[in-house]
């Protein structure tokens, strides 16, 4: 009986601490993201090195991209992938982006990097890449 009472007390204490943290703490998790999706705010917290992949077409890449980004578009995947693998750092975090909104290229490229090349630590940027550039 005493054990149950103590367990209830521990549960109560846990509840108070957990609820207070939920109310006070501004660092709330973003549930809208899949397990391999990240936002610009999360980028500084990623362990280094970070490699950035631009999944848009070569024309779009030429017209502007994140500094030091590598272009791997869906249409030229094989060629650009081999160029990328030449400079790829094995333990790096890879962040893939494309245009914000309805663009699925970043998701497709991230899936291909993981499934076809067996590369881990691949993330899809969900924010507008221009915010990162600026």
Partner 1 sequence: MEKLISYSNLILRLILACTFAYAAISKIIFPDEFFYSIRNYQITPDILSYIIAYFLPALEISSACLILMNKFFKVSIFCITSMLIIFIIAILSAWTRGLDINCGCFGSGSSEGYEMVILRDLILIVFCVILILINKKKLSKYT
Q: To the nearest whole angstrom, how small is the minimum distance from the Cβ of residue 31 to partner 1?
A: 5
What is the CB neighbour count within 10 angstroms for residue 95?
A: 25
Site membership for partner 1, residue 25 (CB under 8 A): yes
Site membership for partner 1, residue 45 (CB under 8 A): yes
Would you say the C-alpha torsion 128, 130, 132, 134 has a positive or negative sign? negative
Integer Cα distance of 112 and 4 in angstroms = 52
Site membership for partner 1, residue 101 (CB under 8 A): no
Q: Of 19 and 85, which CB lies nearer to partner 1 in the complex structure?
A: 19
Residue 87: burial class (beta carbons within 10 Å; 0-12, 13-18, 19+): exposed
- Residues that bind partner 1 (rule: CB under 8 A) add up to a total of 27
Residues that bind partner 1 (CB under 8 A): 2-3, 6-7, 9-10, 13-19, 21-22, 25, 27-31, 35, 42, 45, 47, 120-121
């Amino acid at each position: 009986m005493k054990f149950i009472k103590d367990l209830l007390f521990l549960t109560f204490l846990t509840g108070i601490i957990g609820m207070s943290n939920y109310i006070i703490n501004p660092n709330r998790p973003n549930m809208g993201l899949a397990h391999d999706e990240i936002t610009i705010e999360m980028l500084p917290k990623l362990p280094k090195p970070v490699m950035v992949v631009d999944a848009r077409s070569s024309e779009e890449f030429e017209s502007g991209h994140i500094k030091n980004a590598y272009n791997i578009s869906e249409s030229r995947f094989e060629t650009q992938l081999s160029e990328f693998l030449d400079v790829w750092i094995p333990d790096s975090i890879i962040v893939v982006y494309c245009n914000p909104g309805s663009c699925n290229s970043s998701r497709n490229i991230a899936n291909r990097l993981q499934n076809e090349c067996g590369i881990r630590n691949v993330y899809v940027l969900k924010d507008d890449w221009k915010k990162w550039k600026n």
